[in-house]
Amino acid sequence: MRGAFDYYGQPGHVITDQEACFTSEDFATILGGHGVRHRFGALASHGSISVTERVIRTLKQEWLRRVALIRGMDHLALLLDDFATYYNEWRPHMRLEGATPDCAWCGRPWMAPLRSHKEVPAHIEQRLFSEASVTAYRLPRVA
């Protein structure tokens, strides 16, 4: 949370479900120390925290299912750090019109691929996230 606040700025509030990790004193201390209010999604209401649920689903389906064995907490921390880079800097989001969260929330310009393109551009960037066996591709960032 602190890393996200430092990089993206602190939000006015954070919406979560009522899992134990979000109701803990440590979590409340982190949020309170940054002046961020904590709100809970509506109980048994589909879609009340849909963006958060989508991130978690992506983490499970696109990332962690590719890892044969998590070799401890340090390895898990490495996987999650790589996932944050992948999700925020490399993975385009339809909800953001093809932008990455990094581009959209930090005001950086991006080049979204056109739906009419029939070929992969020759100047596409590529990065291998070896721990999760994921190769990410993106159009170069606009200067």
pLDDT tens for each residue of 82-114: 999 999 889 888 778 778 888 888 887 777 666
Residues 66 and 25 placed together within one structural domain of the fold: no
Q: How many domains does the chain have?
A: 2
Dist. CA 143–CA 139, nearest whole Å: 12
Segments in the chain below pLDDT 70: 43-48, 112-115, 117, 120-121, 142-143
Residues 112 and 140 placed together within one structural domain of the fold: yes
Residues 107 and 74 placed together within one structural domain of the fold: yes
Residues 71 and 103 placed together within one structural domain of the fold: yes
76-103 CB burial, b ≥16 within 10 A, e <16: eeebeebbbebbbebbbbeeeebbbbbb
Residues 38 and 82 placed together within one structural domain of the fold: no
**What is the domain range of residue 66?**
51-143
